[in-house]
Amino acid sequence: MTSLVRTLGKLHRHLPVSQVHAAPVAGSAWIAAYDTLHEVLDGFGIGVTDVPDAARPPADIFDDVDNQIACADVGRLRAVSVQFTNCNPIGMLSGRRASLAAVGLVGRSARQSAG
């Protein structure tokens, strides 16, 4: 039995892992987690262009879900969004629309374990 275990151990077989993105840089997050915020703002009749320049992320940041946004920028955007909409749980409304893929490896794991 021990020779079988040794032999199997040398094969280095493992379960296939899907391509996973590198962790975001410290102090930032993937934009995919915040991609639905503009949809929520639209529902309140507020366009991204209505957000003051100081809190507005670059226009092309939502073009690729792998783009990263600084957490400080997310905080400013959220604060201005709450102020414009008078809706404190705006982050919850946005998160409710997001898919599990938006939270990276944790979401992928949750999707694989459901069932």
Distances (CA, A) of 86 to 23, 43, 46, 103: 33, 13, 12, 26
Q: What is the DSSP letter of 98?
A: S
CA distance linking residue 14 with residue 31, whole number of Å: 31
Q: What is the pLDDT of residues 4-51, one digit of tens each?
A: 555 555 555 554 544 555 666 788 887 877 878 888 889 999 887 787
CA distance linking residue 76 with residue 69, whole number of Å: 11
CB-neighbour burial class of residue 30 (10 A; exposed 0-12, middle 13-18, buried 19+): buried
Query: Do residues 47 and 41 touch, judged by C-beta distance below 8 A?
Result: yes
Query: Looking at residue 89, what is its pLDDT?
Result: 92
**How do the domains of the chain map onto residue ranges?**
32-103
Query: Percent of the chain scored above 90 by pLDDT?
Result: 9
pLDDT band, residue 1 (cuts 50/70/90): low
CA distance linking residue 21 with residue 40, whole number of Å: 27
Instruction: Kindly state the average pLDDT of the residues 75-93.
Output: 90
pTM: 0.62
Query: Looking at residue 87, what is its pLDDT?
Result: 92
Query: Looking at residue 113, what is its pLDDT?
Result: 74
Would the pLDDT of 96 be above 90? no
> What spatial distance separates the first Cα and last Cα of the chain, rounded to whole Å?
35
Query: Looking at residue 95, what is its pLDDT?
Result: 81
Query: Do residues 57 and 76 touch, judged by C-beta distance below 8 A?
Result: no
